[in-house]
């Protein structure tokens, strides 16, 4: 009986010893972890402080993601760089004036934020955006480097901190964006085929009737009240034919412009004994207008859903 009792006590004592040892080991690990985090945090703060005090230090930093709190720019379509004053003072006006001079890098347009929004916004931060994709293609490494160099020059001159994404991170979203932009792009073309082309005087009369501007010998354009093109009339590939072209993503209110365009095509075909044909040369049927209008409305819907308003500033730059 005594032997069994001793065995039981010894077993329990051993278990207790093991549990206490494991608990002590765990407590030491947790303590070491938090001590190390405090030490790392201190080193990080000291490093930043020392870097800012070094003469000639370039306030420039690549970041994987730049937090955007600015109006007027869109991170879906633009690479957005963030600049801020080192000492959190008012962002220098002269720096903005220098940034305004950067209107294009390579084939890509550059835009500036108009003001700072939200609780995270402040007067010592400013944003600059460059298009990721347009009709000329996607943002290249060279364009990224030139954009970065231009901003770095301004940042160094006015003692600003520059944050911008690395090209390796930016390029990941370029390919799907380029594909989407390609799908959304589109020009509506109506072709009028004649037995013979209208005379020069007849075309001049036609231009006066529809308030068209001539921009070359045989090319006309319809402008809106702001002087921007709504549609143009140019020679077609067919013999004795004219094309009426609407660049849909670049036109404000494409539905209304389509009505003007189709009215113009019908007038030309009626007055000069022509036919409105498709790209295969087949004459359009009487119900074709409704079909084409539905296609126009669908394209407008897709553009707006993706964040591109036809005729809007961003759309004008993307589809350029």
Report pLDDT for 12. 58
List the single range of 29-33, 179-183, 259-263 with lowest mean pLDDT.
Answer: 29-33
Length of the chain: 320
Picking from 307, 300, 308, 293, the residue whose alpha carbon sits closest to that of residue 190 is 293
Q: Per-residue pLDDT tens for 153-171?
A: 999 999 999 999 999 999 9
Res. 95: pLDDT tops 50: yes
pLDDT at 90 (0 to 100)? 85
In this predicted structure, the answer to whether residue 62 has a pLDDT above a threshold of 50 is: no
Sorted by sequence, the CB contacts under 8 Å of residue 311 that are 6+ apart come out as 228, 250, 251, 252, 253, 254
Give the pLDDT mean for 289-317. 96
Is 184 in contact with 299 (CB distance < 8 Å)?
A: yes
Instruction: Give the alpha-carbon dihedral of 272, 273, 279, 281, to 10 degrees.
Output: -150
**CB 293: neighbour CB atoms within 10 A?**
15
pLDDT at 257: 97
pLDDT at 291 over 80: yes
Helix (H, G, I), strand (E, B) or coil at 114: coil
Residue 41 reports pLDDT greater than 50: no
What are the chain's domains?
60-177 (3.30.70.260), 185-318 (3.30.1400.10)
Residues with Cβ within 8 Å of 80's Cβ and at least 6 positions away in sequence, in order, are: 66, 68, 70, 73, 127, 128, 129
Strand stretches in the chain, DSSP E: 60-63, 78-85, 104-105, 108-112, 125-131, 133-134, 137-138, 160-165, 187-194, 213-216, 219-223, 229-235, 241-247, 274-277
Q: pTM of the full predicted structure? A: 0.72
Decide: 74 and 129 in contact? Cβ < 8 Å: yes
pLDDT of residue 11: 54
Statement: residue 33 has pLDDT above 60: no
Using the 8-state DSSP alphabet, how is residue 196 labeled? Answer: S
């Amino acid at each position: 009986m005594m032997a069994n009792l001793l065995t039981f006590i010894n077993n329990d004592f051993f278990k207790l010893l093991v549990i206490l040892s494991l608990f002590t080991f765990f407590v030491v690990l947790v303590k070491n972890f938090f001590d190390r985090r405090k030490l790392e945090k201190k080193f990080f703060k000291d490093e930043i402080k020392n870097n800012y005090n070094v003469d000639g230090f370039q306030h420039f930093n690549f970041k994987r993601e730049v937090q955007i709190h600015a109006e007027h720019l869109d991170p879906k379509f633009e690479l957005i760089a963030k600049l801020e004053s080192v000492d959190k003072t008012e962002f220098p006006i002269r720096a903005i004036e220098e940034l305004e001079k950067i209107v294009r890098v390579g084939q890509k347009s550059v835009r500036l934020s108009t003001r700072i929004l939200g609780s995270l916004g402040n007067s010592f931060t400013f944003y600059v955006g460059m298009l990721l994709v347009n009709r000329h293609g996607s943002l290249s490494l060279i364009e990224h480097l030139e954009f970065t160099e231009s901003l770095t020059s301004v940042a160094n001159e006015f003692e600003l901190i520059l944050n911008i994404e690395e090209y390796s991170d930016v390029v990941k979203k370029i390919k799907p964006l380029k594909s989407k932009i390609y799908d959304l792009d589109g020009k509506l073309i109506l072709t009028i085929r004649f037995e013979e082309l209208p005379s020069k005087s007849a075309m001049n009369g036609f231009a006066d009737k529809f308030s068209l501007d001539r921009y070359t010998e045989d090319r006309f354009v319809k402008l809106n009240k702001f002087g921007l093109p709504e549609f143009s009339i140019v020679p077609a590939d067919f013999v004795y034919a004219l094309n009426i072209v609407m660049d849909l993503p670049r036109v404000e209110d494409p539905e209304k412009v389509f009505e003007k365009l189709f009215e113009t095509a019908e007038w030309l075909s009626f007055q000069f004994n022509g036919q409105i044909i498709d790209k295969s040369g087949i004459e359009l049927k009487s119900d074709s207008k409704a079909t084409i209008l539905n296609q126009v409305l669908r394209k407008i819907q897709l553009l707006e859903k993706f964040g591109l308003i036809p005729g809007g500033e961003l759309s004008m730059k993307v589809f350029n």
